[in-house]
């Protein structure tokens, strides 16, 4: 089984999740190729048994470059996908951190729903979704994030090909 993992990490948190996911999947004999979408042309993406999309939250939505990537990407109808996002922890501890210009954006998060909407409209089939919180606007990831990645990975059906 081959997974192509596309993320839009800016501050490195989503990139760490991708590496952890890859490490865990490699232990199960699954190939994971990681790409930052800033280095990928959406029309030139390789075939995969499953596509994984990882996006940071921006003003309650997926990062704009991820939204554009998902709309343009060369994805065959019926392809399987999973999505994992990083969002600012909405706990009282982090609520004092202001998101520039739209300070309440974190209160109405549509990051995962908007990714699903775009991909479902394109005929892709969701296998799993997950969310890992960051504790500050640029990270770090919340404690125990590796376990969250593990739980997410365990929800992806393994194909023996």
Ligand X SMILES: Cc1cc2nc3c(=O)[nH]c(=O)nc-3n(C[C@H](O)[C@H](O)[C@H](O)COP(=O)(O)O)c2cc1C
Q: Measuring CA to CA, which residue among 158, 149, 160 is closest to residue 20? A: 149
Least gap, CB of 138 to ligand X (angstroms): 5
Among the residue ranges 23-31, 73-81, 86-94, 142-150, the one whose residues contact ligand X (CB under 6 A): 86-94
Q: How far is the CB of 91 from ligand X (least distance, A)?
A: 12
Q: Does 112 bind ligand X (CB under 6 A)?
A: no
Residues 52 to 71 in contact with ligand X, rule: CB under 6 A: 56-60
**Bridge partners, residue 87, by sequence:** 133
**Distance between CA atoms of 12 and 3, rounded to whole angstroms?**
20
20 DSSP assignment: H
Gap between the Cα atoms of 122 and 4, Å rounded: 18
- The footprint of ligand X on this chain (CB under 6 A) covers a number of residues equal to 23
Q: Can you tell me the distance from the alpha carbon of 132 to that of 92, in angstroms, rounded to the nearest whole number? A: 17
**Residues engaged in binding ligand X (CB under 6 A):** 9-14, 56-60, 86-88, 99-100, 105-106, 109, 134, 137-139
């Amino acid at each position: 089984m081959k997974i192509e993992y596309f993320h839009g990490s800016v501050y490195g948190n989503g990139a760490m999740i991708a590496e952890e996911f890859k490490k865990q999947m490699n232990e199960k004999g699954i190939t994971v190729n990681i790409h930052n979408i800033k280095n990928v042309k959406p029309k030139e993406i390789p075939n995969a048994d499953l596509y994984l999309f990882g996006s940071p939250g921006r003003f309650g939505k997926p990062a704009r470059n991820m939204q554009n990537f998902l709309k343009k990407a060369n994805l065959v109808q019926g392809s399987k996908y999973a999505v994992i996002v990083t969002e600012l922890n909405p706990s009282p501890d982090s609520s004092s951190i202001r998101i520039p210009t739209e300070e309440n954006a974190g209160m109405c998060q549509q990051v995962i729903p908007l990714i699903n909407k775009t991909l479902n409209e394109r005929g892709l089939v969701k296998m799993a979704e997950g969310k890992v919180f960051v504790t500050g606007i640029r990270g770090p990831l919340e404690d125990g994030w590796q376990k969250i990645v593990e739980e997410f990975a365990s929800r992806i059906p393994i194909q023996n090909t």
